[in-house]
Amino acid sequence: MASFAPLAPSPPTTADARLALTEQLLACDAARPCAEAVVAWLTHHARAAAAACVAREEPGGRLVCLAAHGLTQTQCMELEARTEDPRHPLVEALGQQEPRFVSGPRAALPRVGAAGGVFTVPLGRAGSPPVGLLLVWASGPALPAEVSWVASHAGPFLARQAAGPLGPGGSGLFRRIIDAVVDPVLLTDLEGRPHLANARAEALLVAGPEASEGRRRAVKLNQRVFAAVLSSTAAGRVPGPSRREVPLVDPVEGMDLLFELVTQRVYEPDGREAMVSVLRNVTDLGRATQALGESYRRLRATEREARSERHRLDRVLDSVADPIILSAPSGGTVMMNDPAEKLFTPPPDAGRAAQRRVRSNHATFSSFLANLLGAEGSLRWRGQLGLVDPATGATRPMEAVASKVMGDGGELTGIVTLFHDRSEALEKARLLERLREVSTLLEARVQVATAELAEQNEKLRRQAIQLEQASAAKSQFLANMSHEFRTPLNAILGYTNMLLQGVSGELSPAQKRNLTRIDSNGRHLLEVINEILDITRIEAGRMPLNLSDFRIPELLQEVMAEMDPIIVRSKLAVSTHLAPRLPQVHGDRQKVKQVVLNLLSNALKFTHEGEVKVTAEYAPATSTMSISVTDTGIGVDPAYQEKIFEDFQQVDSSPTRAYGGTGLGLSICRRLATMLGGRVSLQSTPGQGSIFTLHFPRRTRRT
Amino acid sequence: MTNSSPTLKPLVLVVDDYDDAREMYAEYLEFSGFRVAQARNGQEALDQAFALTPDIILMDLSLPIIDGWEATRRLKNDARTRAIPVVALTGHAMTGQSDEAKGAGCDSFVTKPCLPDELVAEVRRILALRGGAEAR
């Protein structure tokens, strides 16, 4: 910074004076001190009455008095003129390329003492319009050589200075340059009040009178924020540029914007401190940062998720009862679950034995993995490993399946080995084997027992055959017996019959009575023989069914006729009662007749007085024929009502019994009824009589 | 004894190895107005039948030498005796024997004991049947 210093009054040598001015001008970095040096030097060395330097101000096109010597403040002010006025002598002079002498009084050019006129000397570079004028008041029109020299030196210097900031507004070029910068640029004082602002900065921080209310408010807010930030930055007194972030509002769009503020402390030409601020719009950057933050947060979340997934996987793997090991392609263990750890890591308080067992397990597993790694192309390897429980030393037979895990490019990324404890399976197999042994033993025993059983069965079969043979022998015996009885009985009955018929002559009544008794006893004997024979025949299955169609009334008539002699002797009222419309019967007539004969003879035998009724009925609903023999005899005690149908059973079987008979009659009746597909029932009250009924189907079927 | 003729009483051949029975039936048959010839076994029965050509034969089935079934079969297979009715007499009441007897050619079957008058009634019945058939 140069400042004006008055020169010595004694005139120095011309060369020295010129050198001093040149040095002074070189030291100047602004137009004003430069001009002051020039006018001072001229009034001293060129013996000018007064001198002044005016320059065109940009923008505005005004002439400004940069420096004056020998003029009053008012005279200086008179020199300042609008350049739009072409008739103004100074504006006119500015349009000239050569110095001119303006003599005599002239408007706008003040008079100074004895000076006859004013030289107007254009200042600037050769070939370009002058930027200012040097005014020198002199007495004659001869231009002093010092003036020409000063003008030729000071002109280019002044022109150079005119390109820089010549005043608070700056030059037009400068203005255009900073307006071209896309970021807002400001020159402010330390409190943030703007001295200079480019178009972008004005858009943010300046509102014209015609601006809308919203815009004015936004600008006001921005100004406040900016001023606060700037003044706090200035107070910080940080050397060099400083960076801060400033949130501002776009006054037009109303959007929040974020700027990075770069400030640099500078000195203005007048020596005051100022701040140069450059605002860089980092809103997008902020958004990007925000997005980045979001991505980062998501990444973290994903990572956390992955970690929890990994933990979950770990827990899942740990919860698997079977050991699982993940190995690297090199064979090193990457991960193992808890069950695997129990096998392949020593327990916390492991002794040397446990360590040795773990090493042994590792060795076994490594050699197992080597099988898979050595086998080209095969993805899986299965093997039986004899591992040892490190804690207890118990053998843990394991089935291991190692599978290669291939990456997307087909490269081996790892090996998963699953172990399966075979102890249980082996134990089961052992038990199964034991079971088989026992089963075999049991089977052998069963075979022995079966053989014994078969032997027993054979014995039983033989016994059965013997029994059958014995039974057949019995039947044969009875048949033979019957025959042997019949043959003499036939003769006895035959001769008795003949005698009674008088074949051998007339008999006396006593003879006749005796013969009748022989006949009666013979017949009884025959009856007994017949009954025994019937039972034998039925038991031997040699009683065939002879089925035919017949009618009940005729059958009952025959029965009554056969029983007539006994009925007559019994002196009982015997009657038959036939239900109307009795249907024809298909069955074994002989057997039906025999049953009815037996029942009737039974009734006659056990009835002393009263009556005997034979009743025949038919129940269409069940197609059942019923023939009942009702008596008024001694009846059967309920206790005996079932028993009397059994073989050889009689109500009274004592030696003193009152009624004779074999006890086979009712038994035969029941067997015959069964053969007919029917049955014999009994209703009886002791002392009041009995009702024996033969029930049989209208149509007997062969079985 | 000579061959039977329509004018003579019918000749009955009684075959039975049990003398009392045979003689009893013979006596009663004669008493009832028949001529009677007797045989004690199957062979005699065949000889008598061929020799006498009786009107009816009462054949006991259990007989020595040749049993009643066989004798009947031979009689029925012989043209000379085929027409003679045979009434089987048996003390064996077991079933099947009557069928067997009929199979052998017996015309009737009577179970012993059979009272003489019942037997005569049966003989008369068979002869009446045969007579009716011959009359036709």
Q: What is the pLDDT of residue A172?
A: 62
Q: Distance (Å, rounded) from C-alpha A143 to C-alpha A136? A: 9
Name chain A contacts of B62, Cβ cutoff 8 Å: 483
Place of tokens 């263990």: A333
Q: Residue A4: pLDDT band by 50, 70, 90 thresholds?
A: very low
Helix, strand, coil abundance in chain A, percent, nearest 5: 45, 25, 30
* A526 touching chain B per CB within 8 A: yes
For testing the chain A interface, which of B94, B114, B117 should be mutated: the one with the most A CBs within 10 Å? Answer: B94
Name chain B contacts of A544, Cβ cutoff 8 Å: 95
Q: Residue A309: which residues within 8 A CB-CB, separation 6 or more?
A: none
Nearest to B28 among A486, A498, A543 (CB): A498
Q: Is B93 in contact with A495 (Cβ distance < 8 A)?
A: no
Helix or strand run (H / E) with residue A275: strand A273-281
Greatest distance between any 2 Cα atoms in chain A: 237
Name chain A contacts of B115, Cβ cutoff 8 Å: 493-494, 497
Nearest C-alpha neighbor of A248 from the set A292, A217, A208, A289 = A217
Question: Residue A121 corresponds to which amino acid?
Answer: V
Q: Are A183 and A56 in contact (CB under 8 A)?
A: no
Question: Residue A36 corresponds to which amino acid?
Answer: E
A&B contacts, CB < 8 Å: 65
Place of tokens 């086979």: A664
Q: Distance (Å, rounded) from C-alpha A63 to C-alpha A53? A: 10
Helix axes A509-539, A423-500, angle to 10 degrees: 160
The string of pLDDT tens digits covering residues A104-144 is 666 667 777 767 788 888 887 776 777 788 888 887 777 78
The string of pLDDT tens digits covering residues A507-518 is 898 988 888 888
* B109 touching chain A per CB within 8 A: no
Place of tokens 């308080």: A349
Find residues 22-41 of chain B whose CB sits inside 8 Å of chain A. Answer: 24-25, 27-28, 31
Q: Are A416 and A402 in contact (CB under 8 A)?
A: yes
Q: In a 3-state reduction of DSSP, which class is residue B86?
A: strand
Average of per-residue pLDDT across A322-342: 85
Q: Are A102 and A75 in contact (CB under 8 A)?
A: no
Burial environment of residue A302 by CB neighbours within 10 A (0 to 12, 13 to 18, 19 or more): exposed
Q: Most confidently modeled of A87-101, A266-280, A677-691?
A: A677-691
* A679 touching chain B per CB within 8 A: no
Q: Is B20 in contact with A491 (Cβ distance < 8 A)?
A: yes
Q: Distance (Å, rounded) from C-alpha A40 to C-alpha A28? A: 14
Q: Residue A61: pLDDT band by 50, 70, 90 thresholds?
A: low
Nearest to A486 among B96, B113, B115 (CB): B113
Phi/psi of residue A470, nearest 5 degrees: -60, -40
Q: Is B24 in contact with A495 (Cβ distance < 8 A)?
A: yes
Name chain B contacts of A505, Cβ cutoff 8 Å: none
Q: Residue A654: pLDDT band by 50, 70, 90 thresholds?
A: low
* A472 touching chain B per CB within 8 A: no
* B94 touching chain A per CB within 8 A: yes
* pTM for this predicted structure: 0.41
The string of pLDDT tens digits covering residues A41-59 is 888 887 778 888 888 776 5
Q: Write down the ipTM of this complex.
A: 0.81
Name chain A contacts of B113, Cβ cutoff 8 Å: 486, 489-490, 493-494, 526
Outline where DSSP puts E strands in A389-515. Answer: 395-406, 412-421
Q: Is B92 in contact with A501 (Cβ distance < 8 A)?
A: no
Q: DSSP characters for A16-77?
A: HHHHHHHHHHHH--SHHHHHHHHHHHHHHHS--SEEEEEEEETTTTEEEEEEEES--HHHHH
Q: Distance (Å, rounded) from C-alpha A340 to C-alpha A419? A: 8
Nearest to B27 among A489, A503, A533 (CB): A503
More confident residue, A448 or A63: A448
Q: Residue A13: which residues within 8 A CB-CB, separation 6 or more?
A: none
For testing the chain B interface, which of A474, A486, A527, A528 should be mutated: the one with the most B CBs within 10 Å? Answer: A486
Name chain B contacts of A498, Cβ cutoff 8 Å: 24, 27-28, 31, 116
- The yes-or-no verdict on residue B13 having pLDDT over 90 is yes
Q: In degrees, to the nearest 5, what angle opens at C-alpha A695 toward C-alphas A691 and A700? A: 160
Find residues 564-583 of chain A whose CB sits inside 8 Å of chain B. Answer: none
Nearest to A487 among B25, B27, B112 (CB): B112
Outline where DSSP puts E strands in A209-272. Answer: 242-249, 256-267
More confident residue, A296 or B130: A296
Name chain B contacts of A491, Cβ cutoff 8 Å: 18, 20-21, 24
- The yes-or-no verdict on residue A29 having pLDDT over 60 is yes
Tokens linked to B50: 């061929």
Nearest C-alpha neighbor of A679 from the set A662, A661, A663, A692 = A692
Tokens linked to B110: 């009577």
From A495, which residue of chain B is nearest by alpha-carbon distance? Answer: B24
Q: Is B92 in contact with A479 (Cβ distance < 8 A)?
A: yes
Q: Is A543 in contact with B95 (Cβ distance < 8 A)?
A: yes
Cis preceding linkage at B113, omega within 30: yes
Average of per-residue pLDDT across A400-415: 85
Q: Is A503 in contact with B113 (Cβ distance < 8 A)?
A: no
* A530 touching chain B per CB within 8 A: yes
Average of per-residue pLDDT across A183-193: 82
| C-alpha count within 13 angstroms, C-beta hemisphere, residue A520 | 9
For testing the chain B interface, which of A474, A490, A535 should be mutated: the one with the most B CBs within 10 Å? Answer: A490
Tokens linked to A480: 């033979």
* B116 touching chain A per CB within 8 A: yes
The string of pLDDT tens digits covering residues A408-451 is 888 888 888 888 888 888 888 889 999 999 989 998 988 999 89
Looking at the DSSP bridge assignments, the partners of residue A550 are A585
Nearest to B117 among A482, A487, A497 (CB): A497
* B102 touching chain A per CB within 8 A: no
Q: Is B95 in contact with A544 (Cβ distance < 8 A)?
A: yes
What is the least distance, in Å, from the CA of A623 to any CA of chain B? Answer: 30
* A533 touching chain B per CB within 8 A: yes
Q: Residue A168: pLDDT band by 50, 70, 90 thresholds?
A: very low
